[in-house]
Structure 1
């Protein structure tokens, strides 16, 4: 399946936690399962596909997190690997990972397989932070539901 199709499927789901969206994300992030095509997207198309602004994609590039190639006219061209990296970066930012941690993670990736234990630990630490956030959001949702019920006359 093409990278663009997977991104569309993942973002089209009404709930990001749905099985279909998660399957699309897993397929997308698994380099071996995504069809590589010669199709490359310009910054506007890539930004639209990812639900981001071109400014955000340029920011990630300035930070050294993604390095799209340039065509003969000097315009950015985003290939499937660039799009996969951007999906990962966007999901990590949404989950609260700092830019400093993302820069460090990308540097580790670029150093190769010998950094896998450190990258794995970074992802374990991030998962722990996300789990804590989910617990806090669950309590916030319960508090909100309680207040809504109280406005309906329920104790």
Structure 2
């Protein structure tokens, strides 16, 4: 499975839904139990569309503990990949490393920290929603300028690119 496959799976799940995204859709997206064998660092990096250096950095930062194969090479099982999917999505959405480190420490401390984790995620969701509104306004301004210059906008542009 490549990053494109993972994103296609995510987008297909999202396109099938009306309204809020149900938790089951997220579970399906992060369902990596079909990994027959653990992944190498190169395979994991390719799947997540990050560099091996990023994965080593996450390990050094204490965000993930990775098993080692008999030769000493990193070995990413389904549980490690699920955590990395979450970590990479949170980083992509702008969550600071210190917040991710705090979140992971809370996870490692157990169930008693669920309320604090929930508070962190609710706050981060508010940040993402604000970013989405700002990006929507930026897209509208860009579309306006494209139309001003006689270019195609919105769905017309997407359709034209898909046909190319």
Same fold (TM over 0.5): yes
Judge conservation of contact 2:41–2:76 (CA < 8 Å) in 1.
Answer: yes
**TM-score for both structures, normalised by structure 1:** 0.81
Structure 2 gaps of 5+ residues are 152-164
Counterparts of 1:91 and 1:16, CA distance in 2: 17
Counterparts of 2:41 and 2:102, CA distance in 1: 24
Q: What secondary structure sits across from 1:82 in the alignment?
A: helix
Output one character per residue of 1:26-66: Cα deviation in whole Å (capped at 9) or x when no partner.
3244xxx6537662111011111211111111111111101
2:7 aligned with 1:11:
yes
CA RMSD of aligned residues (A): 2.7
> For residue 94 of structure 1, what is the aligned residue in structure 2?
92
**TM-score for both structures, normalised by structure 2:** 0.77
Counterparts of 1:79 and 1:126, CA distance in 2: 27
> For residue 101 of structure 2, what is the aligned residue in structure 1?
103
Structure 1 gaps of 5+ residues are none
CA distance 1:52–1:34, change in 2 (3 Å)? closer
Which consecutive segments of 4 or more residues in structure 1 shift more than 2 A?
7-20, 22-26, 33-38
Report how many aligned residue pairs link the two structures. 145
